[in-house]
Amino acid sequence: MPGSFSIFKLAAFALLLLFAQPASAQLSFKPTAEAVQEDKLLNALKEGDKISGRISIPDRNAANLIQPAGRDWRDFHRGKLPWIGGIAILGMVALLAVFLMVRGRIRLQRGFSGKTILRFASFERFTHWLTASCFIILALSGLNVSFGRTLILPLFGADAFAAMSAWAKLAHNYLAFPFMLGLVVMFLIWIKDNIPGKVDIEWIKQGGGILSNGKHPPARRFNAGQKGIFWIVIIGGALMSVSGWFLIFPYLIGNVTELQVWTVIHAVIAMLFIAAMLAHIYIGSIGMEGAFDAMGTGEVDVNWAKEHHSLWVEEQQKKAGAPSDRTPHAVPAE
Amino acid sequence: MKVFITALAFAAIAASVVAVTLNSIQEPSSVAFTTSGARVGDPGNNLIGPS
């Protein structure tokens, strides 16, 4: 009997070895283990779908626990957007620096005449500076959202960065409204001078005379380059305003997916807008001699006006009934 | 310079008016989403102010 007992025990042990499986193999077949693999769960959801629960408060959006598309949105903001912004803004700065080194400052060919002509009235300059000053604060506070954590936080510390960001965010929200007002007024007062025409095609063909000394294609009140800036400001500003409106008042038009789309539009347009305005600021200040006076005092030197806006000067002289060698608002330059 | 300063002042005043107007219209989430059947506790403050 002892012998038969040993054989029985041996057979039982062999059966155990035969049917026994490693612990890991057992776990891999547990339904609960499959269910908690987040990647598989999220990938099983279609784009835009959400994992939602039930809540008792009126805010239905609070019931959304997970929105898989939000990962793509987050990756865009952390990954692609800084590259888009960095390339657009730093690329423009580098381009302008190279242009300044190669071309130098665009100077007046005949020098200052000492006579000036009114280029922008007070209300026009007020509108320009209203929009421009708001834009600068909006741009800096917006860049803080995208780059502040990386660039400013290490310099000033968490407390100072938090305080600055809170104020910047408030300024961004509220200065957006006078910015939008400025956009509308600018559109109304300058649209008539910014309709593209045949003169602009010739101006573009000659590259605006920017690359060659002493060669200035004719232009009316605004040349093709200035018209381009005008439409960038109007169209870009309109896109920024509409998208910004949906960010200030979230869920105004749709669900969280649409909100994410508008944030992407707002951020990408903002980066391109800032890059374009850097070019505008450059050519209106250090890039071109005598250009800043137009928005500074409102009056530009007659020689400057004749070189850059010859057709406009002729129109003004005709309006004033002045001979071609005189100016309608000739006053001593400051 | 006078026009520039006037534009800055106008921007500041307009932004202040918008801030007062919006803050008088909007409610904190703890107030807006509280009903007779569900009370939302005061969520406190975060980076952008009262939640």
Q: What percent of chain A has pLDDT above 70?
A: 81
Q: What is the CA radius of gyration of chain A?
A: 32
pLDDT band at A39 (very low <50, low <70, confident <90, very high): low
pLDDT band at A19 (very low <50, low <70, confident <90, very high): very low
The mean pLDDT of chain A is: 84
What CATH number does residue A186 fall under? 1.20.950.20
The ipTM is 0.78
Number of domains in chain A: 2
On whether both A161 and A273 belong to a single domain, the answer is: yes
pLDDT band at A24 (very low <50, low <70, confident <90, very high): very low
Asked if A125's CB is within 8 angstroms of B3's CB, the reply is: yes
Q: CA A87 to CA A93: how far, in whole Å?
A: 10
Chain B residue closest in CA terms to A160 = B47
On whether both A7 and A113 belong to a single domain, the answer is: no
- Of A18, A42, A63, the one marking the end of a domain is A63
Q: CA A129 to CA A321: how far, in whole Å?
A: 32
Residue B20 CB contacts under 8 Å (≥ 6 apart), including other chains: none
Strands (E), A195-304: 299-301
Q: How far B31 CA sits from the closest chain A CA (Å)? A: 11
Q: Are B36 and A58 in contact (CB under 8 A)?
A: no
Q: How far A276 CA sits from the closest chain B CA (Å)? A: 22
pLDDT of res. A66 = 76
Average pLDDT over residues A270-285: 96
- Of A63, A81, A109, the one marking the end of a domain is A63
Q: Residue A168, SS3?
A: helix
Q: Are A217 and A209 in contact (CB under 8 A)?
A: yes
On whether both A42 and A155 belong to a single domain, the answer is: no
Asked if A125's CB is within 8 angstroms of B4's CB, the reply is: yes
Ranges in chain B, pLDDT < 70: 39-40, 43-51
- Of A48, A63, A78, the one marking the end of a domain is A63
Q: CA A309 to CA A148: how far, in whole Å?
A: 42
Which two tokens mark A18?
Answer: 């035969």
Q: CA A118 to CA A301: how far, in whole Å?
A: 9
Q: CA A268 to CA B44: how far, in whole Å?
A: 32
Q: What is the pLDDT of residues A145-194, one digit of tens each?
A: 999 999 999 999 999 999 999 999 999 999 999 999 999 999 999 999 99
Q: Nearest-CA neighbor of A130 among A176, A165, A169, A89?
A: A176
On whether both A45 and A80 belong to a single domain, the answer is: no
Among the partner-chain residues B18, B29, B32, the one whose CB lies closest to the CB of A174 is B18
Residues of B whose CB is below 8 A from A127: 7
DSSP state of A46: P
Phi (first) and psi of residue A65, to 5 degrees:
-85, -50
Q: What is the pLDDT of residues A189-214, one digit of tens each?
A: 999 999 999 999 999 988 887 777 66
Asked if B48's CB is within 8 angstroms of A134's CB, the reply is: no
Asked if B49's CB is within 8 angstroms of A57's CB, the reply is: no
Average pLDDT over residues A103-108: 89
**H-run or E-run covering A63:** none
Q: CA A278 to CA A177: how far, in whole Å?
A: 22
- Tokens 């406190």 sit on residue: B44
pLDDT of res. B35 = 73
Q: Residue A112, SS3?
A: coil
Residues of A whose CB is below 8 A from B10: 126, 130, 178
Asked if B6's CB is within 8 angstroms of A126's CB, the reply is: yes
On whether both A148 and A261 belong to a single domain, the answer is: yes
Asked if A181's CB is within 8 angstroms of B47's CB, the reply is: no
Total H helices, total E strands in chain A: 14, 5
Residues of A whose CB is below 8 A from B36: none
Asked if B37's CB is within 8 angstroms of A56's CB, the reply is: yes
On whether both A40 and A87 belong to a single domain, the answer is: no
DSSP state of A106: B
**H-run or E-run covering A276:** helix A256-283
- Tokens 């956009």 sit on residue: A183
How distant is the alpha carbon of residue B7 from its chain centre? 23
Chain B residue closest in CA terms to A135 = B11
On whether both A13 and A131 belong to a single domain, the answer is: no
- Substitution target in A149, A174, A180, A295 with the highest count of B β-carbons within 10 Å is A174
On whether both A73 and A44 belong to a single domain, the answer is: no
Q: What is the pTM of this model?
A: 0.79
On whether both A59 and A73 belong to a single domain, the answer is: no
DSSP state of A65: E
Say if residue A11's pLDDT is above 90: no
Range of the domain at A319: 69-332
- Substitution target in A119, A127, A135, A177 with the highest count of B β-carbons within 10 Å is A177
Return the number of other C-beta atoms located less than 10 Å from residue B40's C-beta. 19
pLDDT band at A323 (very low <50, low <70, confident <90, very high): low
On whether both A114 and A25 belong to a single domain, the answer is: no
Average pLDDT over residues A303-330: 77
Q: Are A204 and A251 in contact (CB under 8 A)?
A: no
Residues of B whose CB is below 8 A from A173: 19
Total H helices, total E strands in chain B: 2, 2
On whether both A126 and A252 belong to a single domain, the answer is: yes
Q: Are A27 and A33 in contact (CB under 8 A)?
A: yes
Q: Nearest-CA neighbor of B8 among A58, A136, A331?
A: A136
- Higher-scoring residue by pLDDT: A286, A212: A286
On whether both A175 and A276 belong to a single domain, the answer is: yes
Which two tokens mark A39?
Answer: 């990647």
